[in-house]
């Protein structure tokens, strides 16, 4: 068994003060830094995902419905798309960017970011699933922002891809006040909650 930690979208725009802030986002960034410091050696790989929007079409709206459309956020190359400063990414093995030209909630829609590529990724760079499989990863822990959107989508896709998947609830921040429906959906999809 080889386990990876997937840190989902812990970006400035999704934390307090950002354009699409989630309450508790900055605290999750700090808790993740502490967690990696204490448990990082338990993982064969640590990866991050980032929303990295260039022209995401209807995903951005001046009159968002907060279901399928949202205010502009995590625009490629802006400060809002950067990782929150409370998150120490020095132990991260790879970063995967998603959503350049369309909505993308799951990290498994992302591709490996290439150094110096302001547009996000090269089209031929490996997807998150390919990268993990190439390294013999069998199990993944998923944490980050937001529990009921990108964390949920990433975890469900991980389970569908055959990875033994856990969501680390205390290392996530959600949008909804009641996350029980999300937890039930995750468990129904074969995701363990820890």
Show which residues are catalytic: 9, 98, 150
Q: To which H or E segment does residue 173 belong?
A: strand 164-173
- In the numeric block, the tokens 């798309």 are attached to 81
Q: d(Cα 188, Cα 175) in Å, to the nearest integer?
A: 20
Question: First-to-last CA distance in the chain?
Answer: 18
| CA neighbor of 104 nearest in space, from 121, 117, 92 | 121
Name residues whose C-beta falls within 8 Å of residue 39's C-beta, 6 or more positions apart in sequence. none
């Amino acid at each position: 068994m080889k386990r990876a930690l997937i840190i989902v979208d812990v970006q400035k725009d999704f934390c307090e003060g950002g354009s699409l802030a989630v309450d508790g986002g900055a605290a999750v960034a700090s808790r993740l830094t502490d967690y990696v410091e204490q448990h990082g050696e338990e993982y064969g790989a640590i990866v991050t995902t980032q929303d990295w929007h260039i022209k995401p079409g209807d995903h951005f709206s001046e009159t968002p419905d907060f279901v399928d459309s949202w205010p502009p956020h995590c625009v490629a190359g802006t400060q809002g798309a950067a990782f929150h400063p409370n998150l120490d990414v020095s132990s991260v093995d790879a970063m995967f960017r998603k959503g350049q030209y369309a909505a993308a909630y799951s990290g498994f829609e992302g591709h490996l970011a290439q150094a110096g590529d302001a547009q996000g990724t090269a089209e031929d760079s490996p997807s998150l699933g390919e990268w993990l499989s190439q390294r013999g990863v069998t199990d993944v822990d998923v944490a980050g922002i937001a529990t009921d959107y990108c964390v949920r989508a990433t975890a469900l896709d991980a389970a569908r891809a055959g990875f033994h998947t856990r969501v680390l609830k205390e290392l996530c921040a959600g949008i909804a006040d009641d996350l029980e429906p999300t937890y039930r959906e995750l468990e129904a999809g074969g995701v363990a909650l820890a």
